[in-house]
Homo-oligomer: A and B are copies of this chain.
Amino acid sequence: MISKKMKYAIKALVYIAQHSKENSSVKTNDIASKAIIPKKFLEQILLELKKNRIVNSRQGSMGGYYLMKKPNEITLAAIYRLCEGPIALVSCASLNYYEPCSDCVDEATCKIKFALIDIRQKTIANFESITIATLI
C-alpha cells in the first residue's frame, strides 16, 4: 500500500493537470479543498515535487503551482521513487539505491536477489506505463 503522501501527490498532480490553463497556475488552497487533502501537508508535498522539478510555482497573490513536464512525462514510477523510495523490494536488487543486505549469506548465489531483480524490472515497466495523462 502506498502512503497518503503519495496518494495526495497523485491527486494533486492530476488536479493541477486538469485545472491549469495556458500560463496559469493552481493554488494550494484550491487543490486542498477540491481534492480533499490537508492543506499544510499538501504544501510540503508540493514543495518536494518542486524540488524534483515535477512542478514549479509562482509566489504572490496570482501565484500557485503548475506542471513543469507534460502530463504524459510524469510517470507513476517517478512519483513512487519520490514518495516511497526505491521500487526494488530489497536494497540489493536496486539499481539506483544498491546496498548489500546486512543478513546476506552469499550474494553471488542468492536466488532471492535474482528473482527480486526480475520483479523490479516488471514493476518499473508497470509503473512507467501509467502517467498523469492516463489519470486525467
Contacts and interface: CB of A to CB of B under 8 A. Distances in A.
Interface of A: 1-2, 4, 7-8, 10-11, 14, 34-37, 76, 85-86, 88-91, 101, 103-105, 111-112, 115, 118-119, 122-123, 126-127, 130, 134-136
Count of chain copies: 2
Contacts of A86: 1
A124 B49 CA distance: 29
Nearest to A2: B89
Given A119-B126, A122-B122, A123-B123, 6 more contacts: A1-B88, A10-B112, A11-B103, A111-B136, A118-B130, A123-B126
A50 to B, nearest CB: 22
A103 B136 contact: no
Given A89-B1, A119-B130, A103 B135 contact: no
A77 to B, nearest CB: 11
